[in-house]
Structure 1
Amino acid sequence: MYEFVGCFIRNSSDLRYVISHVVKQLKAQHIVYAELTIAVADYLEHGMKLPEVMDCLAEAAQQPGIHIQWIVDLGRMQGSQAALDLLNRILTLECEHIAGITLGGSECVPSPQQFTEVYHLAREHGLGVTIHAGETLGPEYIWQTLQVLHVQRIGHGVRVIEDQQLMKELVAQSLPLDICPTSTIWNTMFPTTQAYPLKSLIEAGVPITINTDLPTFFDTTLADEYRYIAMATGIQADTIFEMLKNGFRYAFLPQEEIAAYLYDLEHAWQQLVHSF
C-alpha cells in the first residue's frame, strides 16, 4: 500500500501538496517542532530530481508557526552504496533543513555493518543519526546497531524489552527509543495493547519519545498516541510530561534551542495543570 500510494507523487507539485497537508495537520495539533522522515529515494525513482525535492523540503521548513526539520531515510533496501551516493549528493546541495539520517524499511537485510561509512559521513557533517531497529528483529540487531553505527536514537526498538542488559545500556547512554505505539500494534509485533511493553520500558528507565510513524496509514495523530497510551497503560500525567519533554531533549537541535522549547513547555504545562 505504501509503494502504491507513493506512485502517485511524481513531481514537485504533488510533493508540495502532500507536505502542505502534513504541515496543516501538525499545526492543528499545536505542534511547534517536528522532525519529519522522508524516503527521498522513493521520489527520485518516480522521476523527480533531487534539487527539486530539496527545494520542497526547504519551503516547508519556512512555514510560519512551526519549526520543521527533515530526517532523510536513505533506503536500506537499496544497499549501502546507494545510500552513500545519495547522502553525498544531499550534502553537496547544503540543505540546512536536513537534521539527520535514518534507515527505514525491513530490518532483515542488509546488516548494519554495511552502513558504517554512511553513518560516519553523516556524523562528520553534523547530522543526527538514527535507525529503524528492534521492531521486528530482536535485541541482537540493536546491539549491532549500537556497536557499529553509534546512533543517537533508535526508531521503534521495543524488542529491547527482551534483554535486560541492553535496556541498562540504553539507560547508561541516555539513548532514547522513538516508539510508535499504534503502528507497532497494528503491525502485530504485540498482539494486544496489554502486551505492548511501554510501561515496562518506562519503569526500567529507558528514555522514550512518542511518535506516529505513518499517521495517515494508521489513522492516528501525535495527540491520539498520547491519549491512547494514557488510557491503555494507566501511566500518570507526570510520566506523560516527561515523554513530552523527551521529544525536545533528544531532538536534533542546538542545546540553546532545546532549552527554550523546554522552558515554554514547562510554562504551558503548569498553566494546564492549574486550569484543572
Structure 2
Amino acid sequence: MNTFPHIPRERLPALLAAMPKAELHIHIEGSLEPELIFALAERNRVSLAYPSVEALRAAYAFTDLQSFLDIYYAGASVLLTEDDFHDMAWAYLRKAAAENVLHTEIFFDPQTHTARGVDIGIVIRGLKRATVRARAELGVSAELILCFLRHLSEDEALQTLEQALPYREHFIGVGLDSSERGHPPEKFARVFARCRELGLHLVAHAGEEGPPEYIRNALDVLKVERIDHGVRCVEDPALVRRLAQERVPLTVCPLSNIKLRVFGEMHQHNLGELLAAGLVATVNSDDPAYFGGYLNQNYLETFAALPLDASHAYTLARNSFEASFASAEDKARWIERLDQLFDEFR
C-alpha cells in the first residue's frame, strides 16, 4: 500500500472530493431523483402514487433489498421515451463529472422497461446518447453494462439478450442484479455462457444479502470478472484468500449497505477489513438517489466513520481504475492524474 504520512486526517474530505476516481457499480435507474421523476411524469402524463416530491422522498425508508426494489420499479414507470433515458443518464453523468469521476461503467435494467412495453432500442439508444455526450462535453468516459433481473427466469434473460444484440456495439458487458436471496448465480449459467461466447465482460451481484457461496458460484459457474458487493466474503476465509490471490475486484457500496441493513451503522462496515486482506475493493454509490448520496458522499461518510487514511483513499481510487474494463492506456493515464493529485496534497 502506498503511504502518505504528510496528509493529515483533517485534509481527507478535500482529498476525497478532489481525487480522480472511477465508478463501477451504479444503477442508472437508481440515480433517478424525485424531482426528475415528477418532471418526466408530467412530460409523459404518467400519474404517480405520491402527491409531491417531498412525499416521494419520504417514502425512501427501506428495511431490506425487496422493499427498496418495490419503490425503485415504481419510479422507473415514468421512463418511456429515448429522451427520458438520455435525460436520466445525463443528470447522473453531470454529477459524476462534478465529483471528479473520470470513468463510469453504468448498469441498466432493460427488463424493467420492456415489461412495460418500452422497446429495448429506446432504452439503449437513449442511454448511449448520454454517454457519447458526456465524453464530448464533460470529458467523462462512460460505458454501459446490461443487467438481467435475477428474480425473473433465465429464459427471460436469454430473450432479453437476443433483443439487445442488434445494439451490441453500445454495451460492453452484462451483469446480474435484483433480489439475491433464493436466486443463486447458477440459475443463469446458460445466458452467461452465451455472453462469454459473444465476448462481453461479465459481472454479477453476489454476497450482499446472499451467502459467500454465491460469490464462489458467480466465479466458478458464471465466470465473472468482478463481484458486485461481495462484502459477505469475510465469512469464508478460504474465499477471501482466493479473491486476494486472483485479484478479483469487489464493487462495494457503503451507503447502500447501511440503507439496506447489510450493516447496522457505518462504523460496523468491513471495508477496512477487505483492504487489510489485500482485496481489490472499490467504493461506489449503487442507487444514489435512494441511498443518500453519490460517489463522493460514499467516500466521505465511510472515511468519517472508519479508521481509514490517505493511503486507503489512494488504494481505493487506484483500484477503481484498475478494476475497470477500460484500456490499459486509459488506466495508466488516469492513475498518473491520481498520482499528481496526491503529490499536490503531499
- Tell me the TM-score normalized by structure 2: 0.75
1:20 to 73, 84, 90: 90
Displacement after TM superposition at 1:180 (Å): 0.2
**d(CA) in 2 for partners of 1:130 and 1:231?**
30
User: 1:61 aligned to 2:131?
Assistant: yes
User: 1:76 aligned to 2:146?
Assistant: no
**d(CA) in 2 for partners of 1:13 and 1:99?**
22
2:269 to 188, 196, 204: 196
Closer, same or farther in 2 for the Cα pair 1:20/1:251, shift >3 Å? same
Displacement after TM superposition at 1:85 (Å): 1.9
Aligned to 2:179: 106
**d(CA) in 2 for partners of 1:114 and 1:162?**
23
Cα pair 1:100 1:252 within 8 Å, conserved: no
- Per mean C-alpha deviation after superposition, the further-off stretch among 214-223 and 15-24 is 15-24
1:87 to 144, 151, 161: 161
After TM superposition, the structure 1 = structure 2 runs for residues 1-276 of structure 1, keeping only pairs within 5 Å, are 1-63=71-133, 64=136, 65-96=139-170, 98-271=171-344, 273-274=345-346
Which structure has more RCO (C-alpha within 8 Å, separation ≥ 6)? 2
Q: Which amino acid aligns with 1:52?
A: I
Closer, same or farther in 2 for the Cα pair 1:244/1:67, shift >3 Å? same
Identity of aligned residues (%): 27
**d(CA) in 1 for partners of 2:165 and 2:333?**
28
When Rg is computed on C-alpha atoms for both structures, the one with the higher figure is 2
Displacement after TM superposition at 1:200 (Å): 1.2
Matched residue SS, 1:32: strand
Matched residue SS, 1:261: helix
**d(CA) in 1 for partners of 2:321 and 2:242?**
21
Which segments of 5 or more consecutive residues in structure 2 lack a partner in the other structure?
A: 1-70
Cα pair 2:172 2:200 within 8 Å, conserved: yes
- Per mean C-alpha deviation after superposition, the further-off stretch among 191-200 and 180-189 is 191-200
Which segments of 5 or more consecutive residues in structure 1 lack a partner in the other structure?
A: none
Displacement after TM superposition at 1:131 (Å): 0.7
Closer, same or farther in 2 for the Cα pair 1:108/1:69, shift >3 Å? same
Task: Show CA shifts across 1:194-248 (max 9, x none).
Answer: 3211111111111101100000101201111111121111211011111101111
RMSD of equivalent CA atoms: 1.5
**d(CA) in 1 for partners of 2:169 and 2:207?**
30
Cα pair 2:207 2:214 within 8 Å, conserved: yes
Closer, same or farther in 2 for the Cα pair 1:192/1:246, shift >3 Å? same
Displacement after TM superposition at 1:126 (Å): 2.3
**d(CA) in 2 for partners of 1:57 and 1:194?**
36
